[in-house]
Structure 1
Amino acid sequence: MFIEAIVQTPQEALRAEELGVDRIELVSGMKEGGLTPSYATIKQVLNEISIPVQIMIRPHSYHFSYDERDLETIYEDIRNVIHLGGKGIVFGALNQDKTINMYALETIAGISNELSITFHRAFDEVPSQEKAYYSIASSKNVRRILTSGGKADCMEGKEQLRRLVALSDEIGGPKILPGGGLKVDNIKEIHRHVEADQYHFGSGLQVEGDFSKGLDREKVRIVKNNTKI
């Protein structure tokens, strides 16, 4: 069972590894929903921890329909990640009609054959998650899709998450990574219903739910125990 946690600094990354988190999502600007971290932060984290690192690639928080200048920034940020030795990125892009921007996704997948891509919660804005899943699955290097099942959080979206996990298992496509509103008092129920093999936590693993206070050792312990069912 994989537990992924959001971190924003090298100190938080080291803390996550120490507490037994299996993978981290490195971001900046959590108040804006998560943006691309700085070059220096990426470099430090990649040099200092051994667990897998997925790096957010998101130039702004306005929307997920990127123009050509946005996309050039995105491609350059990904090349920088690769230059630093990173392989994991978190990315999502939509067309104006909220369908998956396959041109952007396939361009990114073609930058390096070693990329491990998480398609993020832009997936929760698409008109049909099943159709979007098949589109994403046709692109190489997308390993997982972060989603709350198209709802505000995983508890509300648990029925759809269960269907998406079954679809992933059926076709052997990208794994479903439930995320959004996960915390110690609901992960057991959600896991029993959804039966994913990995989960993504944000404020639910932080001391008092506050990113400025860092990861809570006891919450990490409880979550890891509650997903062994």
Structure 2
Amino acid sequence: MKVEVCAGSLEDCVYANQAGADRIELNNAIHLGGLTPSIGTLIESKKQTNIPIVTMVRPRGGGFYYNDYEKATMYEDAKILIKHQADGLVFGFLDVNRQIDVEVTRKFVELCHKNKVEAIFHRAFDRTADPFYAIETLISCGVNRILTSGLQSSAEQGMKLLAELQQKYGDKIEICVGAGVNEKNVLKIIAETKISQVHSSFKGWYEDPTTSGNEVSYRYSEQGDYEGVSLSKLNSFINILKEESR
């Protein structure tokens, strides 16, 4: 099993490394689904960890149909992230009909492979019109891995399709399961899908005494002021997988 931690800060990356995770997906603004991280966060995270860090390349929230300004920005970000030792790039491009944007996807895959890093297609895959056509397109583009929930809001709901994709295409492209994967359902998901890579944010909530007071508040959740990896949740998750493998 491989455990990928969805991290939004240097602290998250350090926790992932400390807990024995296998890989980090580094983002900014995880509450928006993950955006391109800062270069400073990547630089410091590479200094303080020794596991692979793949980085999100996504300029905004919402969907995955980008204009030329956004594509140009993403490509420059991609080159800079690679320059600063990202071990892979995580991206997703769709056209207006919710099919893979082949031209841009190939451009990003070529950039990754030219620099000997992984090319990963994120959960934009879960908005495609036809998952079988989409995965075959990504295989033809040379994508190394897909992060997917099986086109459902959670991986547990998408297990049937995930299992089918793994059975048909698992020898041609890596599949990593994400969305709602936790210590209560991870063993069930693994058993049902036969997929050996899982992705989760292990979300915990933290307080900042300057967030709110009087008439002004910057809190966006009643659960806390900001989120980050919960080391206790991550440790518990990894221990469950270790126990299962014994």
| TM-score higher than 0.5 | yes
Q: Which amino acid aligns with 1:173?
A: K
Partner of 1:228: 245
Partner of 2:40: 40
Higher CA-based Rg: 2
- CA shift in 2, pair 1:138/1:127, >3 Å: same
Q: Distance in 1 between matches of 2:24 and 2:6?
A: 6
TM superposition shift of 1:143: 1.4
Q: How many residues align?
A: 224
Secondary structure of 1:138's aligned partner:
helix
TM superposition shift of 1:194: 0.5
Partner of 1:138: 140
Structure 2, unpaired ranges of 5+: 206-222
Partner of 2:219: none
- CA shift in 2, pair 1:94/1:65, >3 Å: same
Q: Which amino acid aligns with 1:180?
A: A
Deviates most, 100-109 or 208-217? 208-217
CA contact 1:19–1:220 (8 Å) conserved in 2: no
Partner of 1:110: 110
TM superposition shift of 1:18: 0.8
Q: Distance in 2 between matches of 1:191 and 1:138?
A: 26
Q: What per-residue deviation string (whole Å, max 9, x for no partner) do you get for residues 165-197 of structure 1?
A: 11223xx32111111111111111111101111
Partner of 1:161: 162
Q: What per-residue deviation string (whole Å, max 9, x for no partner) do you get for residues 144-163 of structure 1?
A: 10001011111110000000
Q: Does structure 1 residue 219 correspond to structure 2 residue 236? A: yes
- CA shift in 2, pair 1:97/1:227, >3 Å: farther
Q: What per-residue deviation string (whole Å, max 9, x for no partner) do you get for residues 65-111 of structure 1?
A: 01111010110011001111223111001000000011111111222
After TM superposition, the score normalised by the length of structure 2 is 0.85
Q: Which amino acid aligns with 1:37?
A: P
Partner of 1:3: 3
Q: Distance in 1 between matches of 2:3 and 2:196?
A: 9
Identity of aligned residues (%): 27
Q: Distance in 1 between matches of 2:78 and 2:30?
A: 20
CA contact 1:206–1:215 (8 Å) conserved in 2: no
TM superposition shift of 1:225: 2.8
> RMSD in angstroms over aligned alpha carbons?
1.8
- CA shift in 2, pair 1:150/1:41, >3 Å: same
- CA shift in 2, pair 1:106/1:201, >3 Å: same
After TM superposition, the score normalised by the length of structure 1 is 0.91
TM superposition shift of 1:213: 5.9
Structure 1, unpaired ranges of 5+: none
